[in-house]
Amino acid sequence: MTQSTMTKTSAERVQQLRELTGAGIMDCKRALAEADGDFEVAKDLLRKKGLAIAKKKASRQTTQGQVFSYVHLGGKIGVLVEINCETDFVARTEAFREFGRDVAMQIAATRPLFVSREEADPAWLEREKEVFCAQAADKPRNVQEKVIHGKLQKRLEEVCLLDQKFIKDENKTIQDLVTELTAKLGERVVIKCFRRFEVGSE
C-alpha cells in the first residue's frame, strides 16, 4: 500500500468515525491514534468522553442564546455573532459565554465568509472555481479536476468558520469546539450567524 493510499484510507476512516459518532474531525483523529487504528476501540473512547451525544442533539430546537461582540485594534475591527442553545439557563453559563467570546475573537482574527460549507454562496463558489480552473489550465485534463477540487476544499477550510482551526489551539477546529461544548452542557449549540466590521473595508 502506497503512502498516498494509506493517507486516503486514514482520512476515510476519520470521516466514517465522525459520521457515526458526531464527534469533531480532530477528536476522531486523536481517538483513532489512541486506539492504534482500531475502529471499535476509537468509537468507545469517544463515547466515554461524551462527544458522541452531540449527534443525537442535532435535531433539537435552539431558540435561546446570546449575541456576543468583540472589538479589536482600537475600534478598527468589530464582530457580532449570534450563538444559540436550547435553554436560557445554558445561555447564561460561563462555559457558553467563554465559547461566545472565543468565537467572536476567531471571526475578528480570521475573516471567515460563512458559518459552514452548506451556507457558502453559490455565486462565490463559481467565482472561486473559475479562478482555480484558470490556474490548472496548463495541466492534463485528467489532473485538472483533482487540482480544482483540492484547491476549493482548502479554500473552504479557510473561509468557513466551522472548518477553521481554532486560533488558541490549532489541534481543534471550531466545529470540534461546538461538539465538545454540546457534550459538556448537554444541549445543542449552534453558531447561527455573524457580521464582521472593519474600518475602511467594503
In this predicted model, what pLDDT tens digit does every residue of 150-177 receive, in sequence order?
889 999 999 999 999 999 999 899 999 9
Question: Does residue 33 lie within any of the structural domains?
Answer: yes
Instruction: Choose the weakest-confidence range: 6-15, 75-84, 106-115.
Output: 6-15
CA diameter of the chain: 58
The CATH number covering residue 2 comes to 1.10.8.10
Express each pLDDT in 26-55 by its tens digit. Answer: 888 888 888 888 888 888 887 776 665 566
pLDDT of 7 higher than 70: no
pLDDT given at position 68:
97
- β-bridge partners, 114: 160
Q: Contact at 8 Å (CB) between 95 and 185?
A: yes
Cβ-contact 173, 128 below 8 angstroms: no
Q: Is 75 helix (H, G, I), strand (E, B) or coil?
A: coil
Mean pLDDT of all residues in 69-88: 93
**Per the structure, how many domains does the chain have?**
2
On whether residue 135 sits in a domain, the answer given is yes
- Cα–Cα nearest to 152, from 136, 130, 128, 116: 128
Instruction: List C-alpha distances in Å: 147 to 126, 140, 154, 200.
Output: 15, 10, 11, 35
pLDDT of residue 2: 43
Domain span at 151: 121-157
The answer to whether residue 36 is domain-embedded is yes
pTM for the structure as a whole: 0.70
Average pLDDT over residues 137-158: 86
Tell me the pLDDT band of 99, cut-offs 50, 70 and 90.
Answer: very high
Q: Is 46 a domain residue?
A: yes
Separation of CA 126 from chain center = 22
Has residue 77 been placed in a domain? no
Q: Is residue 105 part of a domain?
A: no
Cα–Cα dist 91/105, whole Å = 18
Contact criterion met (CB below 8 Å) for 1 and 7: no
Query: How confident is the model at residue 77, as a pLDDT?
Result: 95
Least confident window among 94-98, 115-119, 186-190 = 186-190
Is position 181 within any domain? Answer: no
Q: Determine which helix (DSSP H) or strand (DSSP E) holds 166, and give its type and residue range.
A: strand 165-166
Q: How far apart are CA 62 and CA 59, in angstroms?
A: 9
Question: Is residue 20 a part of any domain in this protein?
Answer: yes
d(CA 175, CA 116): 9
